[in-house]
Structure formats: C-alpha cells, structure tokens
Amino acid sequence: MKELSYIFPASPSDVDPAQLDAARIPQHVAVIMDGNGRWAKARALNRLRGHKAGIEAVRETIRCANDLGVRYLTIYSFSTENWKRPEDEVVGLMNLFAKTMLAEVDGLHAEGVRVMTIGDLSPLPAETREAFQTAWEKTRHNQGMTLVVAVNYGGRAEIVHAANEYMREVAAVVASGGEVPRLTEELLESHLATAGIPDPELLIRTSGERRLSNFLLWQAAYAEFVSSEVLWPDFDRYEFLRCLLEYQRRDRRFGAL
C-alpha cells in the first residue's frame, strides 16, 4: 500500500485517512455503479452524458483501490437486464465501453492492473468485444490488482451456466462409465465466472439504493454491504475511503457468535 498522504492528499474534515487500518483492507471490493442517469437528469442532460461523466469515477476508484492494495475490484458495468433500456442509450454505452477500454488499457497495464470480464460477451457489438479482448490479452500476465468488468452479466444466469457445466461433466462421466461427482459448493464455484477469485468482502452501491440487482448473487453471500448516498459520477477516493472505514467498523461473524 502506498503512503496514505499520497493516496488522500487533501482529505475533507469529516473523514480521517489515519483511521484506516492497512491490515484490514478488503482483498476484493465489488461496486454497483448507480446514479449516472439521475446525475444527468439533475443537470438537464441526456443519460449518456451521465455515463460519460461516470468514467472519471471509475478511473478514480481503480487508482485508489490499486494504491491501497485491494487485489480484486469488480465493477458492474452492464447487466443482462440493461438491454431493456432505450436503444440509443444501449448503443451509446457499447460505444463508450469500447472507446474507454482502448483509451485506458495502456495506463492500466503500466500500473500492473490485470483486466478481465465476466458475463456473456457474445451479444455485444464486435468492436466492444474486441476492445475487452485486447485489454485481456495485453494485461493478462500482470501481477497487480485484477479489475473485473461485469458486462452483460447476471448472477442468476451465471449460476445456471455453472449448473449446466456440471451436468455436462456428469454426462461425460456417465458415458465413460465413471463415478458421478457429488455436487458440492466447491464444485459449483469452480464453474462460476469468478472461479479462482475470492468472494468480495465489501460490496458498495452508490446513489442510496439498497439492492443487489442480480449482481454476484452467489459470491456476495457474506459480503458487507455499504450503501453510499453519492451518485456515481460524484464518487471519489474520499467517498471510497468512507465506505472502507464503514466496512472496517463491521464485526464480520459469518453466522457465528
């Protein structure tokens, strides 16, 4: 972790970086980035302008998380349900994903960040798919923080996909006359898109909303949920710090006393 004075150079009076316990930085932070549309509406702008404004909040969060030593940062960029939005907004988002990923990948690579995606990329426009693939190929061997971009992702679809993968395994075992493996949590997890990634300890949702919206349903079983009132484009490293301090105030018992 870098020096706190470097990460938080001008901390507001209501939050003290010195209170942050470096030994209790969550290994995996997941973020539901909410409020772009409301941010734009409050300024009489179209929704896409809100999404564009949210890019700086993404940059700021990635930098801060990486500097603090977070090992995995998962951001909910586009859900399986977001296809229901107006066509011009969806098309604009897909173009924004492609342009942003290609513009940011060199900087992320220089910082040692590894970029990967979860979700079904097949329905995305070719340009958008290729941008994410380019980012993965360029950064896949990096040893720093892993940025997980959830795009066309849904928690239910992920669990169904994992179950289908298990059934395919069973069919192959039965066909070969072998013994069918008993389905366990560990076996199902090995077929999730996040296989090999620890479950998030902290899940942040901005704009004051308090629901999962089909995000990491399996993985977030024991995540600490922190709701920030800030709209996503206004989310900065100091609001991230507030969320981390709230997380560190929690007593995580995992069902025990």
Q: Which residues are catalytic?
A: 34, 82
And the tokens for 29?
């932070």
User: What are the backbone dihedrals phi and psi of residue 52, each rounded to the nearest 5 degrees, phi first?
Assistant: -65, -40
**Does residue 19 contact residue 32 with C-beta atoms inside 8 Å?**
no
User: Which distant-in-sequence residues (6+ apart) come within 8 Å of 87 by Cβ?
Assistant: none
Rg of the Cα trace of the chain?
19
Rounded to whole angstroms, the Cα distance separating 158 from 150 reads 11
Give the Cα-Cα-Cα angle 66, 71, 74 (nearest 5 degrees).
85
**Cβ neighbours of residue 9 under 8 Å, at least 6 residues apart?**
none
Tokens of 182: 């008993």
Residue 118, C-beta contacts closer than 8 angstroms, at least 6 positions apart? 74, 148, 149, 150, 151, 153, 158, 193, 194
Kindly give the pairing relationship between strand 146-153 and strand 72-79: parallel
Long-range CB contacts (< 8 A, 24+ apart) of 13-20? 15/238, 15/241, 15/242, 15/245, 17/241, 19/245, 20/241, 20/244, 20/245, 20/248
Residue 227: how many other CB atoms lie within 10 Å: 17
